[in-house]
Amino acid sequence: MPPLEPALLAVVAAALVFAFTNGFHDAAHTIATSISTRALTPRAAVALATLMNLLGAFLGEGVARTIGQNIITPPGGHDGLVVLFAALCGAVAWNLLTWYRGMPSSASHALVGGLLGAGLASAATIEWGGVGTSFLLPMALSPLVGGLLGYLVMLTIMWVFRNANPRSAGRRFKLAQSVSAAAMSLGNGLQDAQKTMGVVVLALVTTGYQSDYDLPAWVVVSAAAAMSLGTATGGWRIMRTLGHRVIQLDPPKGFAVELTVSVITGATSFIWQVPISSTHTTTSAIVGVGATRRLSAVRWGVAWDIVLVWLCTVPATALIGAGVYGLAVLLGL
């Protein structure tokens, strides 16, 4: 492959920065449950999440194809690269802001919002049919399914272990969380690393460096490495919100959350090959699991603050993406 032009290199670099912020932002929810229940030490949990995120990134490419083909079609050449760069700037800015505030938000929503905003501000074609079926529908349904499935899984655990000694059961579920936390991190790698890959491949297709949406090996490796590096840095602010502020987790609840999210991310990655917000799914699963005890066990004020952040994500990142694109055009970049 010929050397990449500077503008394309800038888009690849921005995509890897997005993957890095995605790693420390979204990795927080994959290990918050196992740390808060003390099933894993923080160091062990971060190491496990880093390894499984890296492995998950190599296990599929369906979500990457969906992101690359079904959201926008940028104009060809340099202007298309400006659109993608602006979109990534919007997503990175939102990831950093919500991380600083300690609020879980969706890097997937941020990326799509940035793409839509920059696309609307430019001559890009918005694939509205794809946005509806590949983004809006799965993004809306996954938190609902996460909350309901988390509730049902926790009810099943409570019924099956209704006569068990609580202390003995707690020790067993701590051991089980080693497996469920690994599966949850694997699902996060399946979902989130591929979103970065999809944008990079879209940039390559836009500039004519390749004619199809196959993933080059260097794209897979670099996106996986960037996200895993972000995961290794941790996201302690968001961990505190999910692990302690929404509900108080114990090992059975932590296992129920991790099992629920693992099932949903696996199904959406391998079967339907659509992007979902693993952050939203985890948060709703935590709420669903907590509601099995009593509704008052969920700190609804914190949950509502999280929902407000969710609702603001796409409009905010769309505005930032459009603003960065407009500034780039104004400066003649």
The 10s digit of each residue's pLDDT in 231-259 is 877 655 555 555 444 456 789 998 999 99
Find out whether 229 and 20 touch, Cβ atoms under 8 Å: yes
Q: How far apart are CA 17 and CA 204, in angstroms?
A: 17
Q: How confident is the model at residue 4 (pLDDT cuts 50, 70, 90)?
A: low
Q: How far apart are CA 241 and CA 104, in angstroms?
A: 8
Give me the mean pLDDT over the 47-63 stretch.
87
What pLDDT does residue 103 have? 77
Furthest-apart CA pair in the chain: how many Å?
A: 70
Give me the mean pLDDT over the 141-166 stretch.
94
Give me the mean pLDDT over the 206-225 stretch.
90
Two structure tokens written together for 135? 């983004």
Q: How far apart are CA 139 and CA 305, in angstroms?
A: 18
What pLDDT does residue 246 have? 47
What pLDDT does residue 93 have? 96
**Phi, then psi, of 237 in degrees rounded to 5:** -60, -45
pTM more than 0.85: yes
pLDDT in tens, 253-304: 989 999 999 999 999 988 888 888 888 898 889 889 988 876 655 566 666 7
Q: How far apart are CA 259 and CA 261, in angstroms?
A: 6
Q: How confident is the model at residue 333 (pLDDT cuts 50, 70, 90)?
A: confident
Residue 179 pLDDT greater than 90, yes or no: yes
What pLDDT does residue 88 have? 97
Mean pLDDT, the chain, rounded, equals 86
Find out whether 263 and 125 touch, Cβ atoms under 8 Å: no
Q: Which position has the higher pLDDT, 161 or 294? A: 161
Give me the mean pLDDT over the 201-221 stretch.
91
Q: How far apart are CA 78 and CA 283, in angstroms?
A: 39
Q: Which of 105, 135, 90 is nearest to 311 (CA)?
A: 105
Percentage of the chain modeled with pLDDT above 70: 90
